[in-house]
Structures are given as structure tokens and as C-alpha cells.
Amino acid sequence: MSQSYGKTRWKRFALVMVPSVAATAAIGVSLANSALAASFSVSGQQFKVTVDDLQGTNFSQFGGVDVEANGTPHPVAISAFDSATLKNLCQSVVTDLGPLGKWTLVLKAGNSEDPKKQVKAEQLLIDLNQLNADAEFKNINIGQDASTLKGSAVDKLKNDGGKLPTGAQGFAQSAQSAHLTGVQQTAWATSAGTFTLNGLKLNINQGSGAGVECY
């Protein structure tokens, strides 16, 4: 890690906030005791996302839990951006249709060098469990108590019924801005107050894996 005043670069940033085995167990106990609210109810299917370039403002990240309808919990790292611009977004999810085999829904948008034609998001929340990227953070604060986080994205989470973790589960980080390139991630859920998909293209392709999914 190389540092300069006011910003931090992390090469191949890989889920700084992902819980250890012990932390995952603690999250499970907290959820059972209603100390930590689940942020989203999820389908049980993960999806893949790639982005060539993401510029986000008022970034924060903290631990959480997404829960399937059958009650299965999934520890996640929740990344929050008050606003974000994304270049060349790809999102893919695989569905097994039984006798028809596997099919992949692929959504692409923002494939432009012009920032005005890229993907725009406000109050963006991403629940993920894997992330690879090159990342630069400005004015970063690592180890902040999640209950003290501020911003419109965090407010959206609260308004949607979520709660910020505290105590042993409250380890968080925040930054004035975040710049990620070469993003590859798997996620359980994404939500936004506004999501503008310029140049949207959606296809359903037969099969799965490399060459069919986003990566």
C-alpha cells in the first residue's frame, strides 16, 4: 500500500471488510439476537458485475447480513456511495431452466468515453461477498464505528428498514471519494435511489461461464 496525504491506493483491493470466520459467527449470533438487522431479503442467487471505471462520492463500507426467504443468512460487505458514475457496466445472472439447460441474463450499459453517457447512480448500495479492483480512496478513515456513518446512501438503508451495526460488528471505513478500475465482483443485491442506465442492452444467452457471463 502506498500512501500520500489525503488519499490511499490499494492495488487489487479485495474486500477489506470481508468478515473472518470468527466475525461471521459473531454476525450470525447478532442476527439471531436481533442486534443486527438484515439489510435485504434476497432470492438466493448471486450475480456477477464488472465495471471498467467507477467514480463514487462519500463512500462507506461495513458488514451486514442478507437473508433468503428460507431464512438462510449470508454475511456481506455493504458498499455505499452517495453518487457514482460507472463506465461499461456489465451484470449477469445464471438461471437453470431444467430441461432447457442454463441461460444467462446479461445487462450492459454505459459503454462510452463520455461521462454524460455512462451509468449514473444516486444512493447506491451494493451487498457483495467478493471484489477485485484497483482502488484509490481520498480522505479515508479505516476503523470507524459504522453507527457514526453519514450520507444519503446510508440514510436510504435506514429508511428501508436496515440498521447500521455497532460494537464488535461495527467496524467500518469511509472516504470522501473512491475510484475503482477493473472491477469484478459477485453480489447478492444492489439498490439505488436513482439508477440511470445509458445505452442499456439486455440479452438472454444460452449457457454460462466465461464468454457468456460478465467474467
pLDDT digits (tens, 9 = 90+) for 109-168: 999 999 999 999 999 999 999 999 999 999 999 989 989 999 999 999 888 888 888 776
SS3 assignment, position 161: coil
CA distance 38 to 150: 19
215 assigned to some structural domain: no
3-state DSSP assignment of residue 159: helix
For 187, the domain range is 2-206
- Does residue 24 register a pLDDT over 60? no
In a domain? residue 140: yes
- Cell numbers linked to 109: 450499459
Tell me, yes or no, whether 92 lies in a domain: yes
pTM of the model: 0.85
**Number of domains comprising the chain:** 1
The pLDDT assigned to 168 comes to: 65
- Is residue 85 situated within a structural domain? yes
Per DSSP bridges, beta strands 40-42 and 47-68 are parallel
